[in-house]
Structure 1
């Protein structure tokens, strides 16, 4: 009888432990890790996967009522480069339940909470799952749907290199001057121009040039507030549409004047050479070329950090690593890294309070410089720069010289 009693107790304890384990693991969801850059290989490489957090841990974090990490100095230690590559070999990871968005089309789960690539304990607010259909249409979720660029190959198919711009009617003259320089340097170069409000007669005038294709920006696909040009949401969405349609995109604002360009073949060659050079740090597949003349911190309205948290705030204040670069002139190659950046950039443009956080305004209280907040925001430029900075922690990784570029400020 004593032996029988011990067996009953043993089986009761064992059964309770098994049930507890099943329920503890019941809410895990497997998904494929997104790509973040590795500074030792090409941008085609995957880097660190997300941290697996169970529902009990998630609830524990929620109960503490801590604010979403913004300027939190949780850790100033970046992962060694080699660690990222090893961790990327893990086949699957888990999505926190409160970050999951489920596709009605594919029944796949996606993580809609941004995690800082250099400190994955910093997790942003979840973006609205209502935007998932838009990201699917833009092909920003499943890399297998896309043909990618090999940055180690300096050759580009001319049919897959597209210059892209966008204008409203009050920039018609700006565009014609900008395009005249492109045509001078590259007479056969194609350009897609997104019309924000051009009348048909102006579109017909532009398309008399066989190298210009005008597309009317389709506002109806996006939330109503995308129509507010002063928030510049349309730029992020046009970048996403362009990289879906073309493997290599040169985005240029109508105010740009590329007076003395570096030959494009030389630029692609420099990027290719860098991929195989361990001492070269410019391995990004998204490059920017114009100094905004102030720090990221000077124009960083903190609501953006609810979605894209960062750490080591002082690095954002100075021009050695935290310089803000102009979003008016950008090269993008379709790689996993570029698609990952544009996924979050597009989500920010679709989320009402991300690209237009509370108290955001374009006009500054003081001239933006370095360590002081100037009381203003740069909308798409602030979003793109923060995403790039979080990936590399140094703007020099994605800042290159492509020749002399000037800029006009008048609208005509």
Structure 2
């Protein structure tokens, strides 16, 4: 009798298909009720099980109710908050704030990035969030830039694993902290430089042209990768955020999380609810077996590269579940405005 033989790729695909099928099963009402967490502060209840927007019966694993305090403190689920419209936000270009973060070993890159922005935006507020920066390194920070602000990221407010910078748990949290204060922020990673003027004006013009409807995200990427979501997916992430289509994950490339525009709208807050919950859950942002180093041996979209992109993979999965087309949350017109510095 002929024996069937499977390679590792086929086994991984089979496992992913099983996961997708499992999380698409109908969830009984009494089980859904277990997904809710009650606030000690307001008495309101909140759903802590992600529901795939394209398949209401596809429900993820419940996040810990203890994380509700952090969401409330960050203002992510403040139901009474009056959030500005995207139209009003983009009518005030000077209000946009550039934000980033740095560690000791990335500070020189961060300053290089800052100075590249200052060539075109000398008077825009720029906030650099320090991750345990030592006193000797802090001496390098700008002294005469009144629009520059340095903040120390307070890790004591969050689980200990958030301080592991290599898994990027901190990133969405820092963005959420900034969105509490400012209606529009543009995150630019330490290794990213700006090489063209008018990036804000060009982005806002792109938003005005077609992105003011609910068919588009209020989270916009400016650069994309050359690999798919599937290629860098750790299948264990689907336990929290089930997908409705593995083929869609293979067909769509990722936007890079190093250059992200964020507007404080209801959609952004809804997305951040799940992105921050994942950031505060070790096995979500850093599923067992995750590693950043990829091995691309074949097609960079159809095959897995045995790696994971942490915050970037989570963000892209959430966006793709809402918008099946990448141009709904990606502005290709801006991609040539940035350069990677190493």
The alignment's TM-score, normalised by the length of structure 1, stands at: 0.73
Q: How many angstroms apart in 2 are the aligned matches of 1:263 and 1:349?
A: 29
Q: Secondary structure at the match of 2:272?
A: helix
State which structure, 1 or 2, has the greater radius of gyration over its C-alpha atoms.
Answer: 1
CA positional deviation for 1:267: 2.1
Is 1:408 the counterpart of 2:341? The answer is yes
Contact 1:149 1:247 survives alignment (8 Å)? no
Structure 2 residue aligned with 1:131:
67
TM-superposition CA deviations, 1:223-256 (whole Å, max 9, x none): 0111111110010111111111111010000100
Q: CA RMSD in A?
A: 2.4
Structure 1: tracts of 5 or more residues without a match = 1-66, 76-92
In the TM superposition, structure 1's runs of 4+ consecutive aligned residues that sit over 4 Å from their partners are 275-278
Q: Secondary structure at the match of 2:337?
A: strand
CA positional deviation for 1:205: 4.0
Structure 2 residue aligned with 1:233:
169
Q: Secondary structure at the match of 2:87?
A: coil
CA positional deviation for 1:277: 7.8
How do 1:147-226 residues align onto structure 2 when only pairs under 5 Å count? Answer: 147-151=83-87, 154-156=90-92, 158=94, 160-208=95-143, 209-226=145-162
CA positional deviation for 1:291: 1.4
Alpha-carbon distance change, 276 to 201 in structure 1, aligned in 2, over 3 angstroms: closer
- How many residues get paired? 319
1:72 to 12, 21, 24: 21
CA positional deviation for 1:74: 8.4
Structure 1 residue aligned with 2:185:
249
CA positional deviation for 1:284: 1.6
The alignment's TM-score, normalised by the length of structure 2, stands at: 0.87
Is 1:298 the counterpart of 2:231? The answer is yes
1:339 to 256, 269, 293: 269
Structure 2: tracts of 5 or more residues without a match = 1-15
Structure 1 residue aligned with 2:11:
none
CA positional deviation for 1:366: 3.2
Alpha-carbon distance change, 177 to 309 in structure 1, aligned in 2, over 3 angstroms: same
Q: Secondary structure at the match of 1:346?
A: helix
Contact 1:69 1:123 survives alignment (8 Å)? no
